[in-house]
Amino acid sequence: MSAFSRGAVDALLARYDRSGPRYTSYPTAPEWEDGFGDDDFSSFLGRSGDEPLSAYVHVPFCQKLCAFCACTRTIPKDRSVIAPYLATLERELELVASRLPAQRPCAQLALGGGSPNYLDAASLGRLVDAVDERFPPTADAERSAELDPRRTDRDQLEALAERGFERVSFGVQDLDPRVQAAIHRSQSPAKTAAIIAEARALGFESVNVDLIYGLPEQTPTSFDRTLDQILEIRPDRIALYGYAHVTWISSTQRSFNRRNLPSPEDRLLLYFRALERFTEAGYRHLGLDHFALPEDGLALAADDGTLHRNFMGYTVARSRDLIAFGPSGISEVAGCYAQSEREVGTWQAAIEAGRLATFRGWRLSLDDERRKWLIQSLMCSGSISPEGFRDEFGIELGELLPGFEGTLNGFQADGLLAGSLEDGFRTTDTGRLFLRSMAMSFDAYLAPATDQARYSRVV
Ligand code: SF4
């Protein structure tokens, strides 16, 4: 049982269990402009610099649907989709490269999905080689891939290792058979451990495992067994996400019997239990939902203030610009956000017609940049530094947010935040769970009347 009492948990839930954004961007995607298209994004690409960039490639395919999943993914009838997908991706790489003022090296490449391992080893190699041809990797480039442990083989790992990938992230979610049956994702602990061992033997230096709390049929006892099995594997990083019940995005979640979902109180206890177990096992808690061994690059980045968060999750800050390729990809370039069409066919049609598939985006104002800075600071270091804000923007925090001290006092009174205006504010261990709630108080766009329908619960 966690050190956190049930009474304290109930009181916090009563005040903070609302719906709210995850803040992988600010402003968040629902605020962006629908008319923002190819011309708009191209003009931002054209005025970006020549420094190394980060690239993300979205591979939207999966073999079978997991019922909890709200990612942008599709389940093709067969693998005949791969060749046209790769051909369009190569065309997209060319189009983007032609709109940049200079050839830009790539300091960070991430493959995500869907399941990048839907591509066989040769196709994965072709994809990475195509990126490298247009955006040559820097000598110290960081390269990572999200893989499904049930369907990854040694050839695929080798293809990535040969091309300098040293980080890999496996989606595990939960190892309990009842939970797996409920979410339609069956996965043996032995196979999970074996593929992670294989990755390590091939020289991958950082292995991440994704877990989810709040899934149907999950109980504190069942989750404890999953935590035992994961801690035995001892991944370098663990991402612990709260299950997001967003049936308006993921229709498969409607198959869940709400009675089998943990109550808000039990969700919080599951989270606290994991927090306790990971901390006891020597992991550092980073940002909102990540844990890393002290020698892992993510923990080192937290120490030297270079921990960063974007659409790919927590990363070591390597570059200002992130360009995304593939359907649904979200780029952040030279002061704008731009998102590509989500449907594979619509994305393909735009690219094949010689246009970028951008369907919405946002130009960041100075006010946006200031609030984004505050939210990033909260999400990455769990702190708010009035002095750092002044150094960055040349104005006092109170000029941007009159009355912000009163807002912060509420979080302090609830034991979620500690500090002062002079020394800065820092979230407590419990406060980390409510980072989204704190970030919401800096959001100029969030209308209380409309926030409930668009987002998942913050806890
Ligand atoms: S959880 Fe992963 S493997 Fe399952 S449907 Fe979603 S993207 Fe595909």
Q: Select from 59, 68, 73, 243 the residue to mutate for testing ligand 1; criterion: most ligand atoms less than 8 Å from CB.
A: 73
Q: Which structure tokens are listed for 160?
A: 């990535």
Q: Select from 71, 74, 192, 252 the residue to mutate for testing ligand 1; criterion: most ligand atoms less than 8 Å from CB.
A: 71
Q: Quick check: CB of 149 below 6 Å from ligand 1? A: no
For residue range 298-340, list pLDDT tens digits in order.
999 999 989 999 888 898 877 899 999 999 999 999 999 999 9
Q: Which structure tokens are listed for 229?
A: 């099995």
Q: Quick check: CB of 116 below 6 Å from ligand 1? A: no
Q: Select from 69, 174, 253 the residue to mutate for testing ligand 1; criterion: most ligand atoms less than 8 Å from CB.
A: 69
With bands split at pLDDT 50, 70 and 90, how would you rate the model's confidence at 256?
confident
Q: Which structure tokens are listed for 123?
A: 């196709």
For residue 449, give Cα distances in angstroms to 19, 244, 368: 11, 20, 21
- All domains in the chain, ordered by first residue: 1-20+365-444 (1.10.10.920), 32-324 (3.80.30.20)
Mean pLDDT of the chain: 92
Q: Quick check: CB of 73 below 6 Å from ligand 1? A: yes
With bands split at pLDDT 50, 70 and 90, how would you rate the model's confidence at 2?
very low
Q: Quick check: CB of 58 below 6 Å from ligand 1? A: no
For residue range 20-45, list pLDDT tens digits in order.
899 999 999 999 999 999 999 999 99
Q: What is the pTM of this model?
A: 0.94
295 within 8 A of 58, measured Cβ to Cβ: no
* 314 Cβ contact list (under 8 Å, min separation 6): 239, 286, 287, 290, 298, 307, 308, 380
Q: Quick check: CB of 161 below 6 Å from ligand 1? A: no
> What gap in Å lies between CA 326 and CA 114, rounded to an integer?
11
Q: Which atom of ligand 1 is nearest to the CA of 114?
A: 7
Q: Apex CA 62: angle with CA 56 and CA 64, to 5°?
A: 155
Q: Which atom of ligand 1 is nearest to the CA of 185?
A: 4
Q: How far is the CA of 99 from the centre of ligand 1 (A)?
A: 33
Q: Select from 59, 65, 246 the residue to mutate for testing ligand 1; criterion: most ligand atoms less than 8 Å from CB.
A: 65
> What gap in Å lies between CA 129 and CA 120, rounded to an integer?
14
Q: Quick check: CB of 148 below 6 Å from ligand 1? A: yes
> What gap in Å lies between CA 233 and CA 220, rounded to an integer?
20
> What gap in Å lies between CA 140 and CA 354, rounded to an integer?
33
